[in-house]
Amino acid sequence: MTLQLFPLLPLLLLARLPATRPAPPTCYSRMLALSREITSDFQSLQATEPSEVCVGYLPRLYLDIHNYCVLAKLRDFVASPQCWKVAQVDALKDKVRKLYTIMNSFCRRDLVFLSDDCSALEYPVLVTTVLPDHQS
């Protein structure tokens, strides 16, 4: 019986150990992931909280960390007095506050703003796929 298990032993050991250790998140990757999470949470909040009228009055949160206006957008959202009794909004404001702190303090040097179009942050970003030209 032990002879039959011997060929499986290396496979079991390899399956248990990860091939490579993941790299720790960089400032940029953390900002990008948190901004996407906030945008997603905001969209789901709008979809699931129609009974809370205050959600409709919150500033919109369609974040692009490469847009200079995002800092003002984050400040406005945290300072908005609407929905101060709604737990999901409080949790979202905590995430927004965290992103603002990361962007304004810890990762300030890693951030590059490519735009300052404040109106672009009012609507969700439409992702389009462009097929590459196949030239002969």
Write down the pLDDT at residue 50. Answer: 64
Assign residue 129 a region (left: φ > 0; alpha: ψ between -120 and 50; beta: otherwise): beta
pTM of the predicted protein model: 0.69
Write down the pLDDT at residue 99. Answer: 94
Write down the pLDDT at residue 96. Answer: 94
Write down the pLDDT at residue 6. Answer: 55
Write down the pLDDT at residue 125. Answer: 61
Write down the pLDDT at residue 116. Answer: 85
pLDDT in tens, the chain (136 residues): 555 555 555 554 555 555 555 656 788 889 999 999 999 998 888 887 666 778 878 888 888 888 888 999 999 888 888 777 888 889 999 999 999 999 988 887 877 888 888 888 877 665 444 444 554 4
Six token digits for residue 136: 């002969």
Q: Report DSSP letters for 57-106, one per residue.
A: GSPP----TTBTTHHHHHHHHHH--TTTT-HHHHHHHHHHHHHHHIIIII
